[in-house]
Amino acid sequence: MDSNKENNNKTLLGIFKSALVRNILLTIGAIALFFSGVLVYGVILKIREVPLSEAMLNKGFRKLEDVNLVVDRKDYTLSVYEDTILIKSYRASFGRNLSDKKKRFNDGATPVGTYKICSISDDKNYYKFIKINYPNLEDASDALRKSFITQKEFNQIKFEYYYEECVSYNQVLGGNIGIQGIGRLNYVFKNLPFVYNWTDGSIALSNEDLDEIIKVIKPGTQIVIK
């Protein structure tokens, strides 16, 4: 009697384990199928995008002479303009903290204001990096008024802003902010049909989109972040 009861318990336990494993596999399969569908949809959206060279021709330009960039944190876009004429917009990701503009080191926010590109370089983690001259004088003046930085630090930022290509890293305000690629996870992130803000404050584009804008910008190109 006890032996039959024990066998029945083992049978029930085996059925339960089999059902549990089956449910886990079905859940994993459903999740994998969902993300595969998301990526396929993202790939289709990317395929439909018009290259910058074609966008230029569509607007009547073979070459851009007076390029400026406008970044809109609310629309998640970086747009290339020839003077006041919009040429093309790119999807962009920003700092994890979108509730405010960048004010301090490690606040996870993207700065807001008018800046200039000061250098363009390769980056081992994020493919390439277009550095902007953050902090600018407005950032430094605001920090001085709030006693975040000293007068000596402000004077150093002011000197570098006017006489150096890039402003050096400040221990309070931070620095090394710019436009970067995605790097090794480029294929996944560029094909997501939604925006995921993940940087420490920089503006992230796909590696391919970054290559496009590098062809038409240079140190001194203005970038407005709003």
Whether pLDDT at 112 is above 90: yes
- Higher pLDDT, residue 2 or 119: 119
Q: What is the average pLDDT across 48-58?
A: 91
Domain boundary among 33, 48, 63: 48
Whether pLDDT at 191 is above 60: yes
Least confident of 27-31, 124-128, 162-166: 27-31
The model's pLDDT over 17-40, given as tens digits with 9 standing for 90+, comes to 666 566 676 566 555 554 455 445
Same domain for 98 and 172: yes
Q: What is the average pLDDT across 153-173?
A: 94
Note down the domain range covering 32.
Answer: 1-48
* pLDDT category of residue 41 using cuts at 50, 70 and 90: very low
Question: What's residue 34's pLDDT?
Answer: 46
Whether pLDDT at 13 is above 80: no
Q: What is the average pLDDT across 84-105?
A: 92
Same domain for 32 and 62: no
Whether pLDDT at 183 is above 70: yes
Asked if residues 128 and 179 have their Cβ atoms less than 8 Å apart, the reply is no
Same domain for 180 and 88: yes
Q: Could you give the CA distance from residue 58 to residue 63 in angstroms, rounded to a whole number? A: 12
Domain boundary among 15, 33, 48: 48
SS3 per-residue string spanning the chain: CHHHHHHHHHHHHHHHHHHHHHHHHHHHHHHHHHHHHHHHHHHHHHHCCCCHHHHHHHCCCCCCCCEEEEEECCCCEEEEEECCEEEEEEECECECECCCCCCCCCCCECCCEEEEEEEEEEECCCEEEEEECCCCHHHHHHHHHCCCCCHHHHHHHHHHHHHCCCCCCECCCECCCEEECCHHHHHHHHCCCCCCCCECCCEECCHHHHHHHHCCCCCCCEEEEC
Same domain for 95 and 125: yes
Same domain for 98 and 205: yes
Same domain for 26 and 77: no
Question: What's residue 188's pLDDT?
Answer: 81
Same domain for 73 and 38: no
Q: What is the average pLDDT across 96-103?
A: 85
Same domain for 113 and 43: no
Same domain for 211 and 160: yes
pTM: 0.79
Same domain for 95 and 131: yes
Question: What's residue 190's pLDDT?
Answer: 81
Same domain for 78 and 36: no
Question: What's residue 134's pLDDT?
Answer: 97
- Rounded to the nearest integer, the mean pLDDT of the chain is 86
Question: What's residue 46's pLDDT?
Answer: 56
Whether pLDDT at 212 is above 70: yes
Question: What's residue 120's pLDDT?
Answer: 97
Domain boundary among 31, 48, 65: 48
Same domain for 84 and 35: no
> Which domain CATH number covers 177?
2.40.440.10
Number of domains in the chain: 2
